[in-house]
Each structure stands twice: as structure tokens, then as C-alpha cells.
Structure 1
């Protein structure tokens, strides 16, 4: 035990080489012989879940406030770069003493480039969706990521699901369709961006799962490599897509919201992987659906939206279908 402590007292950057992939599903670091968690471990896990929930809700509302400013709305890439930089910094700090949440590894930048491109694409499109859609519609559209993953897995890898899982997927699609009607009539561009956002998210999730297994690393280890590299990859595109803002003309509360959004983005990225590592993907899915309900409620409340009976039915179908699919999916893997 003393030797292990001395060995972990030094920070090492290991070179990791990929190996041939046999599955597209991510493998997270777990102990070989799991033991019942102690009271202290349960408290720590609950703290990470609470942090993840708070970070998710805060990030959405902070980003909505940031993009309400006309200048920052035209600086999508620079805002994303700030979020990536903050994420990389927080992840790096978490590998150092006294935290040592996980061990850092060094991956090949050339082999990381494609996954960084997917990473940047899904974040940028997600921000655009949040910019041109209400918080409620933005969050509900994200539920469509699950059906999109299923479809892409079938097209790319010929993976099939059970009829009950298919029924849950159909329920999700019908539910979102019932709530999308009013938005489609007034914000067609926002709907198109939302579709592109959840499609790119699905592609990223599939690709990231494959790379986690290829490199035999955990999610945070991969994210620590891809976050700073994503910033570098976006730099050449900034002059073509962004307009340099006049910082002095941006209100102070917007600047503070921008700074806080970077911190929330980093805490969100770190906590979501730690929740899966400490519990299970099923627990994370349940937490995710609870967050969706909270965000939808806060979003519609802040927008002063009064939901119709059809929209309420759509929300129940979409969230219920997502919850059922999560349970069926995890039971199938056991």
C-alpha cells in the first residue's frame, strides 16, 4: 500500500497507442472486484450528481444570457474555444495533487484530430440551437439524440434493437413531433439547427465510445487530450466566422456570465464521466432525464410559456420513452 502511495505521488504522462477496436461502446475504468460503497463514497457520489445537475442547468441559462448579446452572438467559435480551454484547465488541475481524480495520459494529436472535429462540431451546433431556439425546445430536441444513435448504429454497424426498445424510440419521436409543431411554424431555421445539433451529438457519442476503447482510456483522459487540441483546431476559422467584439461595449453582467459559463462547462464535463465511473450508465441516464424535466420546467417558466394539452402529451411521451429505453438498454447489456 505504501509503495502504491509513493508511486501515485508523482505525475506521469504516459504515451498511449491505439489498438484494434472490437466494439463501439465505451469502457470506463472500474475496479476488478467491486465492493459495496461506504457511506462516505455514497455521499461523494451524491455530491457529484448534485454538481452535475447544477452545472447543466446553470450552463444552459448562462449560455442563453451570453448569446443574448449581439456581439457575442456573432462570436460562436470564440465562446466555444473559451469553454474548451476552461474544460482542459479544470481537467488538468484535477489530475494534480491533492485532487488526483484520474491519471493523465498523452495521446497522439494526429489520431485525436477527427474526434476533436466531431467534438467541436457538436458543441458549436448545440450553441447555435440554444441561440435560435427557446430553452425548452432546445432541451427537448436533445432527447432525439437517442433515436439518432440507434439509427446511425444500424446504418454504420448493422446493430439492431428489440421491438420493445423500438417502441420506446417511436414514442420519443412522436413526443418530440407533438412539441415541435409550433416552433417549426415560427423558427424553421432553429428547427434545422436543432436537427443538425442532435445528429452531430449522436455521431460524436458513437465516435467517442469507439476511441475510448481503441486507446483503452477513460472519458476524462480522452477529454483532457481533445479539449486543448480542439481550441487549436478552431483558431484558423475564427477570422472567417466570428467578428471581433468590442469588449468595452459588452455589459458587465454578460462578461460575468461568459466567465461563469466556462467554469460550468468544465465542471459538467468532468462530473458526468465521474458519475458513470462511480455508479453506472443507467444511473447517469436516470439523472439525465431528471435534469431534462428540471430544465424544461425552468425554461418554460422563464419564457412564460403556457403549454397546450398536445405539448404536455408530447413531453410525457418523449421523456417516458427515453426513460424506458434507458432501462431496456441496460438490462440488455447485463
Structure 2
């Protein structure tokens, strides 16, 4: 008797012999795969994140106050190009070490040096202007003027790219501008503290910083690299580009006549500059942009407070109003900007 012909099972799932391995779930689109719950953040990770935030805050404060001490010396103030070169060298060395074993915090890439020349020139220029602003202004005014970077970015984006913001964001920006304007008017009035030249340099500094932020964001997309990868290429090239300007713009100091504390400040400012860049990368990598934004506002308040204390400065009612308007407007704008970004 012929055996009964069984229907073909080709293409059918046969579970008679028990469960079999299947790759069906792996082949589904990402939005169809079962969502995995994120692993809970351990105490160790929280401690490391707090240390990164503390390092960024400490190094930012240290960089400003060390650099101010360096530039308060007449001889060192006359060799600002070399001071900037020293900051770039330490930054390059620290980032190089961070990209190698055993750290491997990011993967280094090599970019075409000729493509980097315009970026490096702008990079060096805005840093030098920032140091000049710190030279001719007190610390508190220098830091408050930097708050104007964000409104300037918004203005440039509108003029060049017709990018607009909401009414509430515009109101926050105008409030920030009004607050900083009050402090600038007061600064110009005080001839013994901040002269008109200092205010002009401060304006040029935050305008160049705003332009650099917009341009560097575009370059990061064009090159397809991260911030640390680009900076590791930028810093050494910027040093080489600045060397020819040293004989014409700098005066070689007599180190033997410079106070020891100022020489230690030169060393410290370079270390702090490298730590600022490294810790900023670590914070963004381990936390959200909102956390980094909050840390930035806390640093601004700390710098202003310590600056006023070190200068034994007593604010007038007009100055308090300007500071509150500037910081309040900046905080509201950043909060609204983050909220709008999350909704996209």
C-alpha cells in the first residue's frame, strides 16, 4: 500500500519538534522590535558624572582667573599671541592623550590641513579677542558681556539665513540685551574700571564668538566629525599659523623679572584650558544638553560672584537690575530653545 502523501511544508513554520532558532525579530525594522528598558544608572556612573561637572566648573573658573592674573602682568600682557599658543598646545596634548589607550574617549581622525586653515584662523582670532576683552575689562563685566553671544547668534541666523524664533524667545533675547546694555553704560561711566576701548573689544569678542559658533557647526557637518576630533586637528595648525605673528605683535618677556605667581598662572591657565575642552566633551557625552546648559548658567553666576568679591565691588541698583535682566533673559531663552528642540 502506497504511503499517504503528506502536504508540503515548505515555507511553513513547523513547531512539532520543539522551538527553533529564528532571526525574524532581528529582521524587523527598529521601530517594530521590542523596546528594551534602559539600564539603571549605577552609583559609580553618577559619581563619575558629578566629577566631570565639577571638573568643568573648576577648570572654567580656573582658566578665567589664571588668565586674568597672567594678563595683569605688563610683560605677559604684551605677549598674548604666545599665551594663546600655549593654551592651544596644552589642549592638543591632552586631547591626543585622551584619544589613545587606555582612555580612547574618542577616535582621532586626520583632516586635510588646507581645508582647516580658514577654521583655524577664525578659531585663533576669536580666542585672542576674548583674551583682549579679559585684559581690558574686569572679570565680572567680561563674563556678563559673553552672555550676549546667544542673542548675536540669533541675529546673525536671522540676517543670513532668515531663521526666526518665537515671540517669547525674542522677548527673552531683548531682555538679555537690555540687561547687558545697562551694565555696559555703567562700565563706560567708570573710567577707572572699564574704558570705552574695553567695551568695544568686548563687543568684538562676543560677535566673533557668535560667528565662530555658527560656522563651526556647519564645518562639523561638512567634515563629518565630532567637536573633539575637529579641535584635535585645529589646535596644532592654529599654533603653526600664529608663529609668524609673534615677532611683530608680541614682546618677548624677561622671565627673571616676572613674579613667580604669574609664571605659575601661565602654567595653570594652559592646564585649565585643556581641561575645559576635555570636560565639556565628557559632560555632553554623559548627560543631556539641558544639564550642560544648566551647568553653564551656574558657572556664569559663580564667575560673576567671585569676580565681584575679588574686586570688592558693591553693585548699585542699576547694576543689579542689569545683571538680573541679562541672566534671567538668557535662562528663559535657553529653556525655551531646549523645549522647542525636544518638540521637533
Same fold (TM over 0.5): yes
**Structure 1 partner of 2:85:** 81
**Structure 2 partner of 1:57:** 61
**Deviation string for 1:189-210 (max 9, x for gaps)?**
0000000000011011111111
Equivalent in 40, 43, 47 of residue 43 of structure 1: 47
**What's the TM-score once normalised by structure 1's chain length?**
0.88
**Structure 2 partner of 1:179:** 183
Equivalent in 161, 165, 170 of residue 157 of structure 1: 161
- Using the TM superposition, give the Cα deviation of residue 293 of structure 1 relative to its aligned residue in structure 2, in angstroms: 0.3
Higher mean alpha-carbon deviation, 42-51 vs 303-312, is at: 42-51
- Shift of the 172–303 alpha-carbon distance from structure 1 to 2, 3 Å rule, reads same
Distance 2:47 2:68 in 1: 32
1:185-334 correspondence to structure 2 within 5 Å: 185=189, 186=191, 187-334=195-342
Equivalent in 78, 95, 102 of residue 98 of structure 1: 102
- Using the TM superposition, give the Cα deviation of residue 36 of structure 1 relative to its aligned residue in structure 2, in angstroms: 5.0
**Structure 2 partner of 1:170:** 174
**Deviation string for 1:247-268 (max 9, x for gaps)?**
1121211111100100000000
1:135 equivalenced with 2:143 (yes/no) = no
Whether contact under 8 Å (2:88, 2:235) holds in the other structure is: yes
Distance 2:272 2:168 in 1: 37
- Using the TM superposition, give the Cα deviation of residue 224 of structure 1 relative to its aligned residue in structure 2, in angstroms: 0.5
**Structure 2 partner of 1:116:** 120
- Shift of the 70–148 alpha-carbon distance from structure 1 to 2, 3 Å rule, reads same
Distance 1:51 1:241 in 2: 34
**Deviation string for 1:144-174 (max 9, x for gaps)?**
0000000111112111111110001001001
- Shift of the 35–113 alpha-carbon distance from structure 1 to 2, 3 Å rule, reads farther
- Using the TM superposition, give the Cα deviation of residue 107 of structure 1 relative to its aligned residue in structure 2, in angstroms: 0.8
- Using the TM superposition, give the Cα deviation of residue 177 of structure 1 relative to its aligned residue in structure 2, in angstroms: 1.0
Structure 2, unpaired ranges of 5+: 1-36
Q: Give structure 1 regions of 4+ aligned residues with deviation exceeding 3 angstroms.
A: 33-38
**Deviation string for 1:44-81 (max 9, x for gaps)?**
12111110000011111101110111110000100000
Distance 2:188 2:149 in 1: 18
Question: Aligned residue pairs: how many?
Answer: 303
Distance 1:230 1:147 in 2: 28
Whether contact under 8 Å (2:59, 2:276) holds in the other structure is: yes
- Shift of the 147–54 alpha-carbon distance from structure 1 to 2, 3 Å rule, reads same
Distance 2:202 2:91 in 1: 24
Distance 1:35 1:319 in 2: 36
- Shift of the 35–219 alpha-carbon distance from structure 1 to 2, 3 Å rule, reads farther
- Using the TM superposition, give the Cα deviation of residue 39 of structure 1 relative to its aligned residue in structure 2, in angstroms: 2.8
Whether contact under 8 Å (2:186, 2:319) holds in the other structure is: no
- Using the TM superposition, give the Cα deviation of residue 42 of structure 1 relative to its aligned residue in structure 2, in angstroms: 2.2
RMSD: 1.4
Higher mean alpha-carbon deviation, 99-108 vs 139-148, is at: 99-108
Distance 2:314 2:139 in 1: 14
**Structure 1 partner of 2:13:** none
| Larger Rg over CA atoms | 2
SS of equivalent to 2:110: strand
